[in-house]
Amino acid sequence: MKKLLPAPVLSGVLFLLWLLLNRSASSGHLLLALLLALLVPLLTGALRPLPVRIRRPGRILRLGLRVMADSVVSNWQVLRIILRPGLQRHPSAFVHIPLQLRDPNALAVLATIVCITPGTVWAELALDRSMLLLHVLEVQDPQAIVAHVKTHYEQPLREIFE
């Protein structure tokens, strides 16, 4: 059964999502949803090298709310830069963030979080996974950025995944 359905939750979500997006439960859409639900997890299995093991699922909601709040604040900061180009601002810079996080799934989530936040342009993870290099649009205090990422993102991810 595991060979046919390697990721049953993903299969279920894909099945329902197909039907919801098409707003139809006709036999053709049911068949397409079933094919999608069976084939996508089989074809993308190599992209999921390690199974995800969530240790503290309650922290996921708090982390998600934190990311949304930080995104709103960052959007306002970027909007300020765009609307007031003559305003004195701090230069952009690369910030090195030392990491204690080692779980590959958690590192992927961290990279996603810092890349979707407005004001960050680019991120790179060191080969030994000990350092995150982050390009930030406006840097007043690099240590404050390091502390923010470690406290608000890395620590909750360690609690969730490790």
Task: In whole angstroms, give the CA distance from residue 40 to residue 38.
Answer: 6
pLDDT (tens digit per residue) in 109-148: 999 999 888 888 788 999 999 999 999 988 899 999 999 9
pLDDT (tens digit per residue) in 77-94: 888 888 888 777 788 899
Handedness of CA 54, 59, 61, 66 (dihedral sign): negative
Task: In whole angstroms, give the CA distance from residue 57 to residue 46.
Answer: 25
Same domain, 69 and 120: yes
Same domain, 79 and 139: yes
Same domain, 109 and 138: yes
Same domain, 42 and 64: no
In this structure, what DSSP letter does residue 97 have? E
Report the predicted TM-score, pTM, of the whole model to 2 decimal places. 0.71
Same domain, 36 and 73: no
Q: Look up the domain containing 23 and give its range.
A: 8-47
Identify the CA nearest to 62 among candidates 157, 162, 161.
157
